[in-house]
Structure 1
């Protein structure tokens, strides 16, 4: 979800919405997706803090059967602001129609061409893994608050594909941008979220309230600072572009825009506004998503030492102590892979996924969903559903292992990267990164809480959009090399 995304939408009143629509196992609801029928419990409700406001024209609905989301729409809601785009819906996150379709297909094709999700990117990831291992080693045995160095190591991988750049793990400039993005993700989950839920307030609220209470001016300033940095990156590419030897995604986009400059219907334009927002989307999500997931990995390993020990024993049985785990070892590390998936399930970092918007009047389970209504897939509900997971409230990697201890690669009810046309664009890269980073760190270190400190998986309930960990410290202790 980009920093400039907003949730809004017009909707006429719908029938009263309750906690359960009473449709559990109703054979009259054979909703289809991927040639499967779903008859599990379905309910629609407003977000908890505005559930009672059923007559508001702007509302958000939750659907606990997220597979239904594609039957409703793959559009996203309008946005309050997209700096410097004169109202055009551009980028990879906040656009719709041909702009989104062409942009996503182009990004997927060219990022894959440059290595996303492929073995040839393993060396790039391993370089960042080694840098992070060295950094963690410098503070081994001491409480580590997990600063922005983790973000830098992770973003370097996607940034190699997007802009052919790499930053030192201690680079102050990139750490500063990571801190701005972290700050903005906090802000958009605070009082500012009211503007997403009730966008009709935007023209009514005095600017002093927006700026003093909601910190809108602070977020806009941060966005502009990041965009100024990205404009310089794009300009550097424009000056050094060699059309016969594209280096990365930015080069490929510029070549495409030049090739289509005489096509009035082209969505690739030489003003590079779509490119700027697309690069911003990749940069922001690259900094936030996998680094947040790694923090959950560290937290869960410190909280569940028996699981950590079992993972380490498995890695030790496959990988020599003086080597780094590699992709070639993956199939022989089922418990590690199951542990990563279980961490994803328990964390459910984006519990509502990405909001969608009905593009036409629709009826779902007896409820009228008017055109423009914002609909969210309640992914977290699936991850805590006993129908899919035997022990939903426990940390239980065996959820992803069969009776023979083999890894279950496709688990019903498990959707950490969302589903449908707008599922995470970088899913294959994120999976590769998480495997290599997690395997290497647990091969090199044992993670424990600081003495006398009690860790928790509780999240900050005042920031409900994302399930971020509360601030915590852990100790990385070097394991014997023999």
Structure 2
């Protein structure tokens, strides 16, 4: 009976919070659905494909929609014009993040990272460090040898499966490749390997990060109705993250940091952890901040990049004419006597167009990350109340028929001769978001996607499994930390080059 009393008190508090938003009658709020008391529109939209639910609302209510998700006042932007206003005219006002409780609080070391931290002095310092110390051209180029070795090993493993007549599960393969790429540039260690004894951290990392990715895509009631946050704990929903997953991951990362501190050579850093430990010794970064940044990089470098490659190869298998055109360019520019090198990428305009079209049609994070305003903002003729959560529906914007001809079709040639880039300057194409909170690792992400795409297209032909027509490839999606295929991508492969 005791918990029922607390439930009533919490529900009453949540109801008052919801009623507090009803003063919209007295304000010029954007149009949108009313929703239910307490829960608002929380159960009226699909959490599995929230970007599509928001797109349907935009069709009904327009490019700026207001709704209550639980007791959270929520605004959804669905046009390039309003996105431009957000990121150009009101960037500072919307530069913060809402404080979701679980699991992002734990991933970010209580919001001490770059991705989820509120806007302010700490965030500015972290952004400066990432821009001037971590993601500079020289630091990115420093790991070119690692990328070359990882891609070579990856392609050899694909070739062995092709020779044995096996289907290839590209979803799993990309997870392994990108984890190895990121763990190598971060720690100098591969976390997936078949021919060596696993490093001590590898098994713990794979199990822990897999659980974290799975848990992070779930609904936590307390994130939307804070008064009911205790119900998540009562139901054990955050216990796994708070008591098992995060402590295991933090213990793993702290042990790596301490090991590197003992071995550090400031004049010759071997990986990103060395760079950050040196900054830690200079009091520029705390241990918690290093752990949080590492978790950010693993999250983005494996999850979102895997999503982009997975959807990219899904489209390439469905559109063999696009695949052939890309391979013709690779044969013409690179030839068939050597492998693709990073220096080749700038001379491959069709590959560059292909990357843009993949990211336009399938942005890895369809809603980006939420923004938050602490003061009221006048936007597009409407009043956005203080303490609102703002989503920019990148997925809808990138498929806007007023910006793109045949917007829902996969047509890389639309970018040939185009001035569009992916840096957040063209608001009809913002897969990495825009403004102050644009992805800090954009150059590293673009390099990993472009190089992997070019390397794999140069070495192999990619087809549906035997007996499967391209029209039968399942393109359904599910969204958690990133937008992935619901069904793993299985393909058959044929080598194109006779090189060692």
* TM-score, structure 1 normalization: 0.79
Partner of 2:277: 254
- Shift of residue 168, structure 1, vs aligned partner: 5.1
Distance 1:162 1:177, change over 3 A: closer
Q: What secondary structure does 1:474 align onto? A: strand
Partner of 1:80: 101
Larger proportion of helix: 2
Alignment of structure 1 residues 359-438 onto 2, 5 Å: 359-402=374-417, 408-409=420-421, 413-438=428-453
- Checking the alignment, whether the CA contact within 8 Å between 2:217 and 2:480 is kept in structure 1 is yes
* TM-score, structure 2 normalization: 0.77
Q: What secondary structure does 2:72 align onto? A: coil
- Checking the alignment, whether the CA contact within 8 Å between 1:355 and 1:375 is kept in structure 2 is yes
**Does 2:458 align with 1:443?**
yes
Q: What secondary structure does 1:202 align onto? A: helix
Structure 1 residue runs of 5 or longer lacking an equivalent are 1-8, 21-40, 261-266
Distance 1:400 1:195, change over 3 A: farther
Q: What secondary structure does 1:284 align onto? A: helix
- Shift of residue 437, structure 1, vs aligned partner: 0.8
Rounded to whole Å, the distance in 2 between the matches of 1:105 and 1:380 is: 29
Rounded to whole Å, the distance in 2 between the matches of 1:418 and 1:227 is: 28
2:186 aligned to 148, 162, 170, which one?
A: 162
Partner of 1:24: none
Distance 1:247 1:114, change over 3 A: farther
Partner of 1:151: 175
1:356 aligned to 357, 368, 371, which one?
A: 371
Q: How many equivalent pairs are there?
A: 427
What does the per-residue CA deviation read over 1:1-23, in whole Å, with 9 as the maximum and x for residues that have no partner?
A: xxxxxxxx998444565369xxx
Partner of 1:238: 261
Distance 1:238 1:121, change over 3 A: closer
Rounded to whole Å, the distance in 1 between the matches of 2:273 and 2:205 is: 20
Rounded to whole Å, the distance in 2 between the matches of 1:480 and 1:241 is: 41
The 10-residue stretch of structure 1 (272-281 or 438-447) with the greater mean CA deviation from structure 2: 272-281
Q: What secondary structure does 1:421 align onto? A: helix
RMSD across aligned C-alpha pairs, in angstroms? 3.0
**Does 2:58 align with 1:60?**
no
Partner of 1:200: 227
- Checking the alignment, whether the CA contact within 8 Å between 2:474 and 2:487 is kept in structure 1 is no
Alignment of structure 1 residues 224-303 onto 2, 5 Å: 224-260=247-283, 268-269=285-286, 272-303=287-318
Alignment of structure 1 residues 116-155 onto 2, 5 Å: 116-118=139-141, 120-140=142-162, 141-146=165-170, 148-155=172-179
**Does 2:8 align with 1:18?**
no
What does the per-residue CA deviation read over 1:341-388, in whole Å, with 9 as the maximum and x for residues that have no partner?
A: 111111122111011100212122343222221111111111101122
Q: What secondary structure does 1:59 align onto? A: strand
Rounded to whole Å, the distance in 1 between the matches of 2:331 and 2:216 is: 43
- Shift of residue 268, structure 1, vs aligned partner: 3.3
**Does 2:473 align with 1:455?**
yes
Rounded to whole Å, the distance in 2 between the matches of 1:314 and 1:246 is: 37
**Does 2:343 align with 1:328?**
yes
- Checking the alignment, whether the CA contact within 8 Å between 1:59 and 1:198 is kept in structure 2 is no
- Checking the alignment, whether the CA contact within 8 Å between 1:319 and 1:329 is kept in structure 2 is yes
Rounded to whole Å, the distance in 2 between the matches of 1:339 and 1:122 is: 22
